[in-house]
Amino acid sequence: MRILNIVMYCLPVFIFCMPVHAQQAAKEATGKALVFGQAKGNCLACHGLPGLGAELTGNAGPPLIAMQARFPDKSVLRAKIWDATATNPASFMPPFGKHGILDEGEIDQVVEFIHGL
């Protein structure tokens, strides 16, 4: 009976939390998929990413490591991905936001994933 009570109490908490967890997991998976995939983000065409099983990574850009140390302000990282040529006209990096390579939501997902590296 006691166990049943606990379950009864906990159930709403579980139900309430579940979608959030699922949503976050999906968001992370999509951010990673965009970074790894060749069709859209394709970040690894130029950037190395040690660990996480990344294969055939390029080296035309700096590796995606220590991102929080390099970009304490997440919005600076986002602006860089949106249009790197705004702050450095010679930058090789495609302007993912400005040229609509990724949509705004996709850029957010990529920023979330990369900033955690």
Partner 1 sequence: MRMIVVALACFIVITGTANAGPEQDRVKLLSLYKRQHPDIKFEQYADGALALDPDSLAQFRSIMEFPPFAGELEKGEKLWKAPLRSGKTYADCLPNGGRMIAGNYPLFDNTRSKVVTLEDVINDCRVANGEEAYAPGDPKTMGVLMTHVRALSDGMKMNIKVEGEGALKAFEEGKKTFYARAGQLNFSCASCHVDNVGNRMRAEVLSFAVGQATHWPVFRGGDQLVTLQKRYADCHLYMRHVPDALGSERYNNLEYFHSYLSNGLTLRANVFRR
What is the three-class DSSP state of 16? Answer: helix
What is the three-class DSSP state of 40? Answer: coil
Q: Which is nearer to partner 1, 55 or 73 (CB)?
A: 55
Q: Is residue 77 a contact partner of residue 87, using CB atoms and an 8 Å limit?
A: no
Q: Which of 80, 62, 60, 63 is nearest to 71 (CA)?
A: 80
**CB of 99 vs partner 1, minimal distance in Å:** 5
**CB of 40 vs partner 1, minimal distance in Å:** 11
**CB of 94 vs partner 1, minimal distance in Å:** 4
Q: Which is nearer to partner 1, 21 or 99 (CB)?
A: 99
Rounded Cα–Cα distance for residues 98 and 90 (Å): 16
Give contact residues for partner 1 (rule: CB under 8 A).
Answer: 38, 44-46, 56-60, 85, 92, 94-95, 99-101
Q: Which is nearer to partner 1, 47 or 78 (CB)?
A: 47
Rounded Cα–Cα distance for residues 59 and 5 (Å): 57
Q: Which is nearer to partner 1, 46 or 117 (CB)?
A: 46
**CB of 59 vs partner 1, minimal distance in Å:** 5
Which residue is it, tokens 């965009």?
34
